[in-house]
Amino acid sequence: MYPRLFQFGRLAVPTYGVFSAIALVATLSLAMRVARKLTLSPDKIWNLGLYTLLGGLIASRLLMVVTHFALFRYNPLWLLGLSPTYIPWIPWVSAAVALAVAWLYLRAEQLPLRAALDAYAPALTAGFAIQSIGAFLAGANYGIPTHSALAVTYSSTYAANWYQTPLDMHLVPVQLYHAAACLAILAGLLLWLPRRTQSGELAGAWLLVYGLTVFFLEFYRGHATTSGLFTPMQRVAIAAVLLSGVLLWKRNPSQPTTQITTQIAP
């Protein structure tokens, strides 16, 4: 496939990185559109997503520099590219920093948590779909070996070096399965949006359906590692499904949607 989109001297521009950037813009743009329907401030919703992502990205880059300082000192532009090895704990630490930034911004701007989650549920789903397509093209997040006629085969050494993708093997195109599932979930959420009866309902539905999707797709991930019964991502998916019950719980079943919309306005 195409793990490297462009090459500028020593700096390689990865396909996965470009699609991730497109996914970021799509996520923030769609979140703003949904925020308007929820009578939330589109600018605050944009800033919430931007600060959260920047917090996670900066944490990730700094951790990569610390763990690969010799490589960074030799070529500082490497910081804009990819890590040559996958370090499992870096994404988790970066995600924790991102969540902390999001919480601080919500408190500072007095944004209602449940309504903000509703604004980002469809947006994140669209972003994940775009990112998964980029992963498929690049060979990242590859699937397990298969004999299916729908299998994909990678041959680029960049995919092997950057993502440890097995070469010349028939693999399950799990990235496309994930993208297709995200598009179906996105359609369902957008249809549900005008019918929601309380804030947090859309986010709860997303956590439930997307959590189940991730849980089952993990069985087809080639890089998934288990330390016990489930992989780390499956544990996160189980937590998401359990958390969905909190958001879907009917607090005021008889309260009309219009009253809720008024309450969540900043």
The structure's pTM equals: 0.81
**231 within 8 A of 220, measured Cβ to Cβ:** no
Band of pLDDT at residue 66, cut at 50, 70 and 90: confident
pLDDT digits (tens, 9 = 90+) for 91-117: 778 889 999 999 999 999 999 999 999
pLDDT tier, 76 (very low <50, low <70, confident <90, very high otherwise): low
State how far the Cα of 180 lies from the Cα of 187, in Å rounded to an integer. 11
State the burial class of residue 76 (Cβ atoms within 10 Å of its Cβ: 0-12, 13-18, 19+): exposed
For residues 239 and 15, the model is more confident at 239
- Sign of the C-alpha dihedral, residues 101, 103, 108, 111? positive
| DSSP per residue, 132-175 | HHHHHHHTTT-B-B---TT-B----HHHHHHH-PPSS--B--HH
Alpha-carbon span 47 to 123, nearest angstrom: 14
Amino acid found at 231: T
Buried b (16+ CB within 10 A) or exposed e, 15-32: bbbebbeebbebbbebbb
Lowest mean per-residue pLDDT among 69-83, 134-148, 246-260: 69-83
Stretch 11-22: mean pLDDT: 83
**Of 186 and 229, which is predicted with more confidence?**
186
User: In the 8-state DSSP scheme, what is residue 221?
Assistant: B
d(CA 200, CA 112): 10
Both structure tokens of 124: 């994140």
d(CA 71, CA 242): 42
